[in-house]
Amino acid sequence: MFKSKRKRAAELFETGSKGAGTVLSVQDTGTTVNNNPRVKMTFRIEPLDGDPTFDAEKTVTVPRI
């Protein structure tokens, strides 16, 4: 079953672990929403609990400055 973004965020906040992230890249997807670009961001996540470092991707719409 699908959860709302708010519920997923609350669940992650309660059960997730802390870490530090670094933005590795930001790539334009070529799509715009309300004249704002959609980009694919790649991050390197370093968990603070000693777990191995991993990379993650997220596609988001960002405001045009």
Name the residue ranges covered by the structural domains of the chain.
17-61
Report the Cα–Cα distance between both ends of the chain, in Å, rounded. 37
Mean pLDDT of 11-40: 94
Contact 38, 59 (CB under 8 A): yes
Helix, strand, or coil (residue 19): strand
Q: How much is the pTM?
A: 0.75
The vertex-26 CA angle with 21 and 32, nearest 5°, equals 130
Q: Which residue has the higher pLDDT, 16 or 31?
A: 31
DSSP annotation of 34 = T
Hey, which residues does 41 pair with through a beta bridge? 26, 58
Record the tokens describing residue 11, joined without a space. Answer: 């669940």
Res. 2: pLDDT tops 70: no
- pLDDT tens-digit readout, 28-65: 999 999 999 999 999 999 999 999 999 999 999 999 88
